Structure 1
């Protein structure tokens, strides 16, 4: 079976990140929201676009 090195690396990093938060989804979500807020990027909400399409 083919194993992609990049996919394996992503899985490893994801597992390390989850372990850092004791696999607590609420804590992970809160951390991601904090990172987003501190990132300074604009969040675009497409559901409020005007026009018919």
Structure 2
């Protein structure tokens, strides 16, 4: 898991670069997360602490 300032912005940037997400940005209580495949079979989360 990697912490980012703005999940939606990072999601959009990575999609433009061809990254395939398995879960779009989703709010889950105090955090928003998105999940992508690193092409080696690993699922990587990016997460943002919600205010």
TM bracket, shorter-chain basis = 0.3 to 0.5
Tell me the TM-score normalised to structure 2 length.
0.33
Higher relative contact order (CA 8 A, sep 6+): 2
Whichever structure has more helix as a proportion of its residues is: 1
Tell me the TM-score normalised to structure 1 length.
0.32
Whichever structure has more strand as a proportion of its residues is: 2
